[in-house]
Structure 1
Amino acid sequence: MNPRAVSNLISACALTLFLCAIFLLFPIPARAQSPANDSDAQLVNKFLDQEREPAEGLKCVIKSMQPFLDFAFRFEVGYIVRCPLREFAGNGSTIVSFVRVKPEGGTAIVLGDAYKLPPSVGSASGNIRADQLKDEFDFSGGFAAGEGNYQVEVLVANREATRICTKRWHVHLERKRSEKKVPLTLNDNAAGALTILPWSGIFDTGGSGLRLTVLLDTAPVNPYSQKLRAWDRSFLLSALSTVMSQINCQSVRLIAFNMDQQKELFRKERFDEPGFNELAQAMRGLELGMVSFQVLEQKQGYASLLSRLATLEMTDAQPSDAVILLGPHTRFLDKPPQGFLPARDGKGPQFFYLEYMPSWLLGREFPDVVEYVTRSLDGTSFKIHSPAELAHAVQKIAAQVKHNGKQAGVAGQ
């Protein structure tokens, strides 16, 4: 056997041993991208650091996304992995994904995630095998970071065929001139998982706190994206955490909804600290969600959903003091017909819309359907472009809503 063949055989054996070790150690399925344990991190580091011969791998494409500053005052760096379904056997493949982030002069981190594909996908009868399909399976990942320079390496592998796909790139993170006054929550050249900043979980039980409802629009930051990516979920959770941290609340009711699927996704009458993890898991299911034909037939279904949720808040036996609609600018821009707008009789909670406007929409900030519904409820809309603007808008809301004859206070004041 010639030396090159021997080298390829050794590389193949090493790859098989590496993947076997990874799948033995890594919990399947993982709940979300999180720091790898020491054993996994050592294996990933060893594999990414070694020189190896090119081998047949997964025919996947790893695409890096444009980083942005989120409402938790840190940069979010994301990527998308796309793989043809024919790459996987139709018996329920398991896929693991790791990202290693090396800050310049800082400490490297390794994050991991896992996905379980169904045995068969695509047909109404479920008889089409994955290897017969032309469709793609895709997922997203990412990490949080402070300013600085970073080397990013992503490794994707499937358990059954012991094949991999890797990509390496560099990213430079720096605040824009308009963001220089925003204090970041992560140090320079420091990275971590896309976990939310912790909310204290403390409610105001002294009688001066707000009874608050948050209607969370679980939509992508990019209104033209069809899926809720890892950075979208992190962005929404960080915005929710910021709102709840800055308003003194007696109680919080949380309803998450999705207008593309025209349904309520998650509800918790007394939202609390564990509720963040429950909400995160519910939103993660949207990554692979599909919209049914019946939903597509309902042309104004998204407006009906908003109207129903608002009406339920106004007619509740114990209505909240304020209802905050929270989410990014949506792609639904048409004003709903009058019959789809909820009627307001002057009673019930005050309504507010905190609408995040991505920087690329500057100059095209037209009203969306949530703003039209908010107007019909005599509510107030705030267009949010930065973390500082979100904090300022929350202070305005707290100052406007009265509770038991007292002005609602801002947390920490």
Structure 2
Amino acid sequence: MIVGDRTGGEVMIRWVRMLAALTLAGSLTLLLSTPAVAQSPLSGSGGVVRIINTDMAVLEAQDVRKDLPCTVTPGKPVLGFDLRFHTGYDVTIPLRDLAGSENQLTILFRVTQENRKDEPAYFVQHVRVPSIDEDAKGDATLSGSIDLGEGSYHVDWLMRDRSERVCSFYWDTEAFLPPKDKQIALAIPPGLAQPAEFEQFNEDPPVERAQSTQPLNVKVLVNFAPQNAESPTLRPLDTAALVSILRRISREPQFGKFSVVAFNIQEQRVLYRQTSADKIDFPALGEAIHSIKLGTVDLKRLAKKNGDTEFLTDLIKTEMGAEDRPDALIFAGPKIMLDEAVAQDTLKPFSADVDYPVFYMNYNLNPQAVPWKDSISRAVKIFKGTEYTITKPRDLWFAVSEMVSRIIKSKHGRNTSQASSQ
């Protein structure tokens, strides 16, 4: 499930791999015995969806029912870094009302866009409930989610158990970009409801590249690291934003060749490398990212003073000094606050040979908390690079749009200069 959360006015996207949980005594969480799968869209032969008559009657009645006592709390649509509106609901049920032998809850809901009332989308989810003691206290909490394109929607929702007890609820919701962001191209067309996407590293669909000009060749260096450098794990929240940055770059029609270097500054190693490919191999990248083990202590790294600074310096020198000449080099990732900064004297000799633009997409959910320049920012400055702070989805969209303009202008200038010198 993807849940939109606002903290300090900033949009955060939490990726949660469980869809349902039982919460006991306010703190103990037990997973329901159900596979972690999203709401499945219902489809039928010839596009006709067949719904059980009793379920359809509940959806059509628009009467809130609580034969099965529950409280439904709809969520407001929130735009994620993947440029999809994420919304959903939370449902609480008193455990005493689920007491007894094993049970199954079936959740069915219908999403209808106001201008496409004859084309509703249906979703279903089955939740297996374990045996629960008669004297159980507290509530069971279930959650579900879907993704939306822009539009106004009506949701008809029901949940029933094996005894045909029903809980139903209905609500309206809207997903719209503010006027200043209307030029952002969203990932879902207007008026459509789709299942929430779990897997961050699915292969990208084909992109129609620009044909009028020669495709641009970009190299991207991504630090796959948590927002909090002290965190022992790389959370799905952290990887979600970084993967979204890569997808935004990979889907840019002006880009035609991609070199990717994924690294982790804490482990001081390159995780994945892809050179001059027609598209970014996200599944292979995902396999490499899953190998990160931030909680593991490497005694050799501990014994090496300022090893992280040395690693970053060598990485920059290697990529800047490589024979391949990209049209742009892009750093991406959270801030890297090292005890010792990268020595400027070490990088300055390389700056004279770098005739392409350098960028830094700094993923920072709370820039007020750490307002200082980090090690990559200082290194990029040596190459007269441009830095973008990526805090909200709109920051990502407009940063890439501006980068493309700068890269095209830079390449045109280099081509003109080369032509005049011949």
The two structures have a TM-score, normalised by structure 2, of 0.54
- The answer to whether the 8 A contact 1:71-1:238 is kept is yes
- The answer to whether the 8 A contact 1:101-1:191 is kept is no
Q: Which runs of 5+ in 1 are unaligned?
A: 1-18, 24-29, 55-63, 80-97, 113-139, 154-167, 408-413
Distance 1:174 1:378 in 2: 37
- The answer to whether the 8 A contact 1:371-1:381 is kept is yes
Distance 1:78 1:396 in 2: 39
Distance change >3 Å, CA 241–CA 337, structure 1 → 2? closer
Task: Note if 1:269 corresponds to 2:279.
Answer: no
- The answer to whether the 8 A contact 1:74-1:144 is kept is yes
Distance change >3 Å, CA 172–CA 293, structure 1 → 2? farther
Give the aligned partner of residue 309 of structure 1: 315
- 1:382 pairs, out of 388, 392, 408, with 388
What does 1:191-270 correspond to in 2, within 5 Å?
191-194=194-197, 198-200=205-207, 208-220=214-226, 227-230=233-236, 232-246=238-252, 248-249=254-255, 251-270=257-276
Tell me by how many angstroms 1:375 deviates. Answer: 1.6
SS of structure 2 residue aligned to 1:344: helix
Distance change >3 Å, CA 364–CA 146, structure 1 → 2? farther
Distance 1:169 1:258 in 2: 46
Tell me by how many angstroms 1:212 deviates. Answer: 2.1
Distance 1:373 1:263 in 2: 19
SS of structure 2 residue aligned to 1:353: strand
Distance 1:262 1:142 in 2: 37
Distance change >3 Å, CA 249–CA 364, structure 1 → 2? same
- The answer to whether the 8 A contact 2:111-2:155 is kept is yes
Give the aligned partner of residue 294 of structure 1: 298
Give the aligned partner of residue 373 of structure 1: 379
SS of structure 2 residue aligned to 1:240: helix
Distance change >3 Å, CA 202–CA 389, structure 1 → 2? closer
Tell me by how many angstroms 1:313 deviates. Answer: 1.5
Amino acid across the alignment from 2:297 = F
Give the aligned partner of residue 403 of structure 2: 393
Tell me by how many angstroms 1:324 deviates. Answer: 0.9
- Per-residue CA deviations over 1:143-164 (Å, capped at 9, x if unaligned) read 54335679899xxxxxxxxxxx
Tell me by how many angstroms 1:198 deviates. Answer: 3.3
The percentage of counterpart residues that share the same residue type is 21
Give the aligned partner of residue 107 of structure 1: 121
Distance 1:141 1:261 in 2: 35
Distance 2:184 2:43 in 1: 34
- Between the two proteins, the alignment pairs up a number of residues equal to 315
Give the aligned partner of residue 282 of structure 1: 288
- The answer to whether the 8 A contact 1:260-1:291 is kept is no
Q: Which runs of 5+ in 2 are unaligned?
A: 1-31, 45-49, 60-65, 90-105, 114-119, 127-142, 158-168, 418-422
Distance 1:282 1:238 in 2: 17
Tell me by how many angstroms 1:215 deviates. Answer: 0.9
Distance 2:218 2:255 in 1: 7
Higher gyration radius (CA) = 2
SS of structure 1 residue aligned to 2:121: coil
Q: Which has the higher helix share?
A: 1
**CA RMSD of the aligned region, Å?**
5.6
Distance 1:293 1:324 in 2: 30
Distance change >3 Å, CA 260–CA 353, structure 1 → 2? same
The two structures have a TM-score, normalised by structure 1, of 0.55
Give the aligned partner of residue 187 of structure 1: 190
- Per-residue CA deviations over 1:238-291 (Å, capped at 9, x if unaligned) read 3223223436445321111222333212111133336123223433x16x8443
SS of structure 1 residue aligned to 2:277: coil
Distance change >3 Å, CA 405–CA 174, structure 1 → 2? closer
Distance change >3 Å, CA 146–CA 196, structure 1 → 2? farther
